[in-house]
Structure 1
């Protein structure tokens, strides 16, 4: 990847992991069940194989996925999301909701399973047990 942001900022440190156009797509495909190298390669065509390998390695090194052996002869691995990787679903959902609001050609929605209505993002205070509108970043 092109380089690291070397300052103490949540967004900058996250971008050090997911800064290029492929990393989030690889993680999202694993989240959606394309969890073998071949499955990822097919789902993300035309991703170059060296780029796919590097992105998988980056995600593993940063603890978002782990490789799990599923065939010994020949050795084959599937990629499993860790808890840290699973928490990225909130990022994906926020991107999907935002893109549906502002971009043309987006065809996915985040739906409530029970009634199939679109959902929106709200913030919840764990201390007060309340939904909040007045948030600040400190």
Structure 2
């Protein structure tokens, strides 16, 4: 993906990596356990094959996924989330929670896997062992900003 945003902002820089059409949905397929090109394609009705290939290469270049050979003749690969890719789970869960609250037609609910109780988002501050409200948070700009 070409760089769209040249701003000193974490959101803009993250969007440069995963903000293009289909990338988040491809990552979501991987979170859902689909690993092969065919499984991902089948889960994303309407994605052109050339675009899926391009997005998978971009996600690999950006170290969110790795490609592993699982069959040699013909060569077939599976796609696996890296640790960096797996770290997006909280972002995906936040999308689900936001959707539960704001979408007219909510397709998913985030629940505890053992008791099915609904989940709510909290910010934990370990320095004082307490939970904070979003209104108690602020974003500060780091003094040393590397080149964007």
Q: Work out which structure has the larger RCO, using CA pairs closer than 8 Å and 6 or more positions apart in sequence.
A: 2
Alignment map for 1:58-77 (pairs within 5 Å): 58-77=58-77
Aligned to 1:137: 139
**Residue 21 of structure 1: CA displacement?**
2.8
Moved over 4 A (4+): none
TM-score normalised over the length of structure 1 = 0.94
| Secondary structure of residue in 2 paired with 1:109 | coil
**CA distance in structure 1 between the aligned counterparts of 2:61 and 2:53, rounded to whole angstroms:** 12
Deviations 1:11-47 (A, max 9, x none): 0001101222300000000111111101111110210
Deviations 1:69-101 (A, max 9, x none): 111111111000111111111011000110111
CA contact (8 A) 2:66 2:82 kept: yes
CA contact (8 A) 2:66 2:81 kept: yes
Aligned to 2:144: none
**CA distance in structure 2 between the aligned counterparts of 1:21 and 1:4, rounded to whole angstroms:** 13
Aligned to 2:102: 102
**Residue 112 of structure 1: CA displacement?**
1.1
Deviations 1:44-73 (A, max 9, x none): 021001110111111111111000111111
- Structure 2 unaligned residues grouped into runs of 5+: 141-148
